[in-house]
Every structure is written in structure tokens, then in C-alpha cells.
Amino acid sequence: MGGIHLHYIVPGDDFTRAGEASADLKSRLKKLGVPPTAIRKVSIALYEGEINLAIHAGGGDIDVEITDDTVRMCLSDQGPGIADLSLAMSEGYSTAPDEVRSLGFGAGMGLPNMKKYSDEFDIQSTVGVGTTVNMAVSIA
């Protein structure tokens, strides 16, 4: 297994730390000379994922693999799961509570943005068990 492997832990309900993983990954990709367009895609997709983990799942884990041509990100949690994935993937649909909306989140753009800015996107969720999202962005 080649490439660079990174692991981040996202705490639940701590919005002051949301974005730390994406900021760190962005910095690393810059140093690796990854094209800005690809860095932007990775940053958006991962930031939205971090926010989702903090808001909806009580936190979770992020595993990243950087190879010569791809950044792969796996976000997993043991949160409540998503009952209706197609509804959750719809732009504008949100179950974020009011306190989260008052911070500027909850526009219903999280999962749609994650899919939009990934070259590969897969989400698996089981109610009461948790959710796993796999995303890949080409950096070649």
C-alpha cells in the first residue's frame, strides 16, 4: 500500500474545531504541489463532511489516503444513521437544529456539496448503526 495515510478524529458538537481536518489536508496538498482546483474540491468535500459529523453524528473518524493521482477520504460515524438517503442528498433538505442554523449551517448543502465536488462518492447508512461516506478526488 503506497501513498500517505492520515487519520483525523472529529469531535461531536464542537463547532470551534470543525474544519481542522480539511485545513490540515489542504495545507499538506499545497506542499505536495497538488493543483489548486483539486485542492478546492477536496477542501469543500471534506469540510462539509466534518460539519456533518459534528452536527449529526456526535463526531466520527476520517481516514485519508493520498496517492500520486487520487485523494481518498473515508468518513465514518456511529451516529443515528440516515433513514432516507435520497431525501438527505437533496439540495435544501436539512435536519440541522436551530442552534446550528444560527451559526450559518443547515442550508441543506452538505451532502450535495460532498457529492458534487467528489469524482467518486458513495454513502452507506443504517439507522441506529451509523454512516460511512467514501469520496475520491483526482489530483493527477
Partner 1 sequence: MTNLELENLGFVPAGPVPEHEVTGGFCCDLLSWAMSRCTEGKVWFTVMGNINTVAVASLADAAAVVLCQEAAWMPDALERAAQQGVALFTTDLPAYEAALVLARKLGQL
- Using the minimum distance from each CB to partner 1, give the nearer residue, 51 or 57: 51
Among 8, 22, 38, 49, which residue sits at the site for partner 1 (rule: CB under 8 A)?
Answer: 22
CB of 44 to partner 1, least distance (A): 5
Q: How, if at all, do strands 59-66 and 130-138 pair?
A: unpaired
- Identify residues 48-107 at the interface with partner 1 (CB under 8 A): 48, 51, 103-105, 107
Give the Cα separation of 109 and 42 in Å (integer): 16
- Bridge partner residues of 124 (DSSP): 132
Among 43, 118, 125, 131, which residue sits at the site for partner 1 (rule: CB under 8 A)?
Answer: 43
Positive or negative: CA dihedral 110, 114, 115, 116: positive
- Using the minimum distance from each CB to partner 1, give the nearer residue, 2 or 36: 36
Alpha-carbon distances, residue 121 vs 17, 45, 72, 79, 104 (angstroms): 25, 10, 10, 20, 25
Non-local CB neighbours of 24 within 8 Å, separated by 6+ positions: 6, 8
Q: Largest Cα–Cα distance of the chain, in whole Å?
A: 44
- Using the minimum distance from each CB to partner 1, give the nearer residue, 7 or 101: 101
CB of 110 to partner 1, least distance (A): 6
- Using the minimum distance from each CB to partner 1, give the nearer residue, 92 or 128: 92
Where on the chain is the footprint of partner 1 (CB under 8 A)?
Answer: 15-16, 18-19, 22-23, 26, 36, 40, 43-44, 47-48, 51, 103-105, 107-110, 113, 116-117
